Structure 1
Amino acid sequence: MMSEVKLQVSSTEDIEEQNNRWFFQNLMRILATGEMTDGKYFMAEVSAPVGDEPPLHSHPREEEAFYMLEGQLKVWVGDEDPVVINKGDYAILPRGVPHIYKVTSQTEARFLAIISPAKEDGFEGFVREISAPAQKMTLPPRLSPPTPEQLKAMGEIGDKYGIQFLGPPGARPADLNKY
């Protein structure tokens, strides 16, 4: 007996303009939402400037993966030695493990970020709350490094969505005992 399978097909033309977001220093094009994938995953194309690195963090509820389209990232995950990923490379960041990346190429990096599962009260919801609609399809205007007050507010928003901020930009998993 054959089960019914529903093929889900979407194109970037189906993605509403509101899904192009300025997320910190990055341009994020949301390609697949939890609603589109029945909660299985969230996927976005991320463009990040040279030197970009988010605060040290973990996702206790979700797995995260990167697939490199252009440029280069250096990725730190837990106690492992950092790895460099280039065009065509794929990195998996396990659920609950502290991680961070830094754009180490001489040009901006472009990669797919895949988060599973997709939850409105998880990473996808965090992106929508903390980002702004992209006013154009370019990197956002350069921001100053976050102040301690901004980091605290970001941590509170992260808590709401199950994202744990563990240290400032530039912190590495090995630095956790400092915070």
Structure 2
Amino acid sequence: MTLFPADDPDKIPFAGVLPAAPRPYVLGEGQGEKSLVFDQLFEILASGDETDDQYGAWTMKARLGDRIPAHVHLKTHEFFYVVDGEITVWMDDQSDYHSRTTLTTGDFAFVPAGIVHAFKIENTTTVFGAGTAGFERFFHAIGRKTDLTEPQGVFVPDFSVMRAAGEKYATVFMPEFSFRD
């Protein structure tokens, strides 16, 4: 069952980068679909198209930065695996689970759908992530296509763009949410 649109226009500018079908392929470093979101470089390595709508996989590279806005994915499970560096992850189920954890190289965090979360890059960091198929296009919807291989510069999407992407990809931004630090 596809949770996100199969004919997603957010993948059109990237046509031909990934095979768009479940067949074998290899990507060299920096050859995936790339978008700059805030000061983070997201690279999609596999999408729902390649995995029969099972999952999407990406990397995120960033330098020291501010905490991203609190948000919740209503339909997407997501994980963070720190390939290199340090990232602080906040998670809150708005009931009895509240955490703030600094992950370092080799650490892992799982964020089920419905959990409010945010993160902050503590130093130059690479994170491998995966989530529910189709959600990976969210990064394109709020970001700017790029050919960068390392994060540089800042792209701040207009809040109306963030809101529209959130509606499309079942993500609610909660900038007023207070985590229990």
TM-score by length of 2: 0.75
The one-character-per-residue Cα deviations of 1:117-149 (angstroms, maximum 9, x if unpaired) are: x12xxx2232222222213212131357x7xxx
Secondary structure at 1:167 match in 2: coil
For 2:145, give the aligned amino acid: P
The question of 1:139 aligning with 2:155 is answered: no
Aligned residues: 156
Written as runs of structure 1 = structure 2, the 5 A alignment for 1:25-174 is 25-78=39-92, 79-104=97-122, 107-116=123-132, 118-119=133-134, 123-143=135-155, 150-167=158-175, 172-174=178-180
Q: Which runs of 5+ in 1 are unaligned?
A: 1-6
Contact 2:91 2:117 in 1 (8 A): yes
Distance change in 2, residues 1:172/1:51 (3 Å): farther
| Residue matched to 1:10 | 25
The alignment yields a C-alpha RMSD, in angstroms, of 2.6
For 1:111, give the aligned amino acid: V
Contact 1:76 1:172 in 2 (8 A): no
Q: C-alpha displacement at 1:14, in angstroms?
A: 10
Contact 1:42 1:114 in 2 (8 A): yes
Contact 1:49 1:139 in 2 (8 A): yes
Q: Which runs of 5+ in 2 are unaligned?
A: 1-21
Contact 1:27 1:46 in 2 (8 A): yes
Secondary structure at 1:55 match in 2: coil
Q: Higher helix share goes to which structure?
A: 1
> Which contiguous aligned blocks of 4+ residues in structure 1 show a shift greater than 6 angstroms?
none
TM-score by length of 1: 0.76
Contact 2:143 2:155 in 1 (8 A): no
Secondary structure at 1:82 match in 2: strand
Secondary structure at 1:81 match in 2: strand
